[in-house]
Structure 1
Amino acid sequence: MTAFQNVRFILTDVDDTLTYESSLPAETFQALHDLREAGYIVVPVTGGCAGWCDQMARIWPVEAVIGENGAFYLRKDEQGHVHYRHWEDAAKQKQLQQKLLSLAADALQLVPKARLAKDQAYRLADAAIDYNQDVSGITKEEVAKIVSVFETAGANARPSSIHVNAWFGSYNKKMMALKLLKDCFDLDAEKAKEQVLYIGDAPNDEPMFEYFPISFGVANIRKVWDSLHHRPRWVTQSSGGYGFAEMADGLLSGDMTSAKFSLA
């Protein structure tokens, strides 16, 4: 339990980390409530769109939400008002997004089976190409082609478990997480390494796995294990939201043993 005794913050991916087969299990939502009641500060860190993040910030038992792979964070104040903090100013953000959408059109010509994500209209900064949400049958090689279109143009592109998210700028999940922790909780980057637990499942979580020593993957991360340069330290026995609930139960009970979680 020594590694976990200073943990105050739970930062978590959403798709296929909190969810399971596109749904949020009751056990997972209860785990979020239980962690909050125990005094942990829970922050979803997702590639998900601004519209989805706004709903999470308003309704879920979380303290803040980081969206679109770090383009912004949202936090609800004591009066229930949600405030946005963006990495870029709004005008520049919109200009860059239009360039990304043009690149997305090029990528879709190379991989016609892929689609622009259905939530694209609710995104503020990035472009998201669906390769495994409402479409299927797209190979790893085709995903790599999509990524290459954006990277060749100087953009960042990272596959989540369902989308390829692309953006221009120096931010990522880690950079915005450190900014939020400093802005809202006065936690500096070095102390964050002791006080933050991160849990995720996909290549776009690698900056978090690399930076935070206390890191988990839910069991379905094994599907992409060989492609990861930076891996979590522990892996749960269960997949998706059930793996998250398993981690939360271990943390709350004080039983974070090797019998429950495997070292990566």
Structure 2
Amino acid sequence: MVLLPLSEAVVGGCFTPVALIASDFDGTLTHQGKLTATVLESLQALAFVNIPVLIITGRSAGWVEAINSYLPIIGAIAENGGVFYRKNREQPEFLTPIVDIEAHRHRLRQVFQQLKTVFPNLKESADNRFRITDWTFDVTGLTPSDLQNLSQLCQESGWDFTYSTVQCHIKPFAQNKADSLIYVLTTYFPQLRREQVLTVGDSPNDESLFNPLLFPLSVGVNNILHYTDQIRYHPQYVTTKAENEGFCELATLILKLIDVLPPSS
């Protein structure tokens, strides 16, 4: 599948109905793992013109609670769909029902230990202590073949698996970004049509957000090109720049389309 450049979206007028942006975080809003002033400016500019941004990330619940408090966003979904933090709400909403969190974490740990018998060099992620619904380990050093084998092993143990540029995730089946986003949109933004929601991402754990039957308008920042042969669904459009610069490229285009920025910006 050929990913279209953003210029094609401008010609077709595809971005004019955008009323909400659902964006991944790492590798999409960050540069080498760090937030930049330009991204913060873009988020603030979008909020100013009433185009809210909803973060949807694989990061831990504890970590997402913090960014939801500080960034100019309307909310954030953590752990690839497990937990939702709504802006100005102290208590999160569990999108994946868990009767006994301690028992759930114990089962996840057991699966991880089973994986380590096949891949002894797996390293548990530092943020696992702040997680609720999933279990993570570092993706560094794993080949595409390794990742495929890990996915198969997880499924044989009754768990789902995904990965990003940062981590691998052992998670419950049906816990994914698309389903969680659909729930949040239906529950908290019922006035929005799917055609008004723009999804943005950069890696395999964003794949469900690229499903055109669910979200007809999607963009991958340029680094998604590293994974096009590893995912089934691809974004409709791709930026010319990677990571945070790709998101800023997209934000600038949207702001121009609604005449907030001059053409020469």
TM-score range, shorter chain: 0.7 to 0.9
Which of 203, 222, 225 is 2:228 aligned to? 225
Return the letter of the residue paired with 1:215.
S
Within the alignment, does 1:239 sit opposite 2:247 as a pair? no
Which of 13, 19, 26 is 2:30 aligned to? 19
Return the letter of the residue paired with 2:161.
A
Return the letter of the residue paired with 1:73.
F
Report the Cα distance in structure 1 between the residues aligned to 2:131 and 2:124, rounded to whole angstroms.
Answer: 12
Report the Cα distance in structure 2 between the residues aligned to 1:154 and 1:107, rounded to whole angstroms.
Answer: 13
Report the Cα distance in structure 1 between the residues aligned to 2:102 and 2:51, rounded to whole angstroms.
Answer: 35
**Offset at residue 183 of structure 1 (A):** 1.5
Aligned length: 245
Return the letter of the residue paired with 2:175.
Y
Answer yes or no: is the 8 Å Cα contact 1:64–1:73 preserved in 2. yes
Query: How do 1:107-126 and structure 2 match up within 5 A?
Result: 107-126=115-134
TM-score by length of 1: 0.88
In structure 1, the partner of 2:207 is 206
TM-score by length of 2: 0.87
In structure 1, the partner of 2:95 is 87
Answer yes or no: is the 8 Å Cα contact 1:155–1:166 preserved in 2. yes
Report the Cα distance in structure 2 between the residues aligned to 1:88 and 1:140, rounded to whole angstroms.
Answer: 28
Return the letter of the residue paired with 2:156.
T
Report the Cα distance in structure 2 between the residues aligned to 1:40 and 1:111, rounded to whole angstroms.
Answer: 44
Inter-CA distance 115–163: structure 2 relative to 1 (3 Å threshold): same
SS at match of 2:80: helix
Report the Cα distance in structure 1 between the residues aligned to 2:121 and 2:148, rounded to whole angstroms.
Answer: 14
In structure 1, the partner of 2:59 is 48
SS at match of 2:18: coil
Query: How do 1:122-161 and structure 2 match up within 5 A?
Result: 122-132=130-140, 137-161=141-165
Return the letter of the residue paired with 2:168.
V
SS at match of 1:250: helix
Q: Percent identity?
A: 27
Inter-CA distance 226–89: structure 2 relative to 1 (3 Å threshold): closer
In structure 1, the partner of 2:5 is none
Answer yes or no: is the 8 Å Cα contact 1:214–1:233 preserved in 2. yes
Which of 160, 181, 186 is 1:182 aligned to? 186
Answer yes or no: is the 8 Å Cα contact 1:10–1:197 preserved in 2. yes
Runs of 4 or more off by more than 4 Å in structure 1? none
In structure 1, the partner of 2:86 is 75
